[in-house]
Amino acid sequence: MSIKLCQSCQIINLEKILDPRGNLTFIEGNKHIPFEIKRVFYLYDVPGGSNRAGHSLKKCQQFLIAMSGSFDVIIDDGFQKQRYHLNRSYYGLYISPLMWREIDNFSSGSVCMALASELYEESDYYRDYQDFFKAVQVSR
């Protein structure tokens, strides 16, 4: 089940199997999220007050989950911004291509796991906001 918050981003609730010994959540590509998972990485030990991301991806889709603690993801489509607070391991934020993202407000001990639709390729990144903004203008 998903909650649509903007056209290209959405919180996706994942199945939670309750068990007195500890709960379990799982993710299957092309079933729970709308892409095949080709890469997994995670952010951790982020110093207080630091920001991460600060880029957009040309073709890669991502799904971000707060595996521990919490953080905020700011999504910018070139026209408007929206902030999402992630703080549970049984839901995450789907981010489509051509969305500028920044991550901040990390709590102590937080872990951000990212599932990606593509292998890492530097040429897939817009790291300069003005380059991203020009690309968004052309694509609309």
Catalytic residues: 55
The Cα–Cα gap between 26 and 14 comes to 7
DSSP string of 15-49, one letter each residue: PEE--TT--EE---BTTTBSS---EEEEEE-PPTT
Is the Cβ–Cβ distance between 121 and 39 less than 8 Å?
Answer: no
* Helix (H), strand (E) at residue 94: strand 91-95
Nearest residue to 12 (alpha-carbon basis) of 62, 52, 76: 62
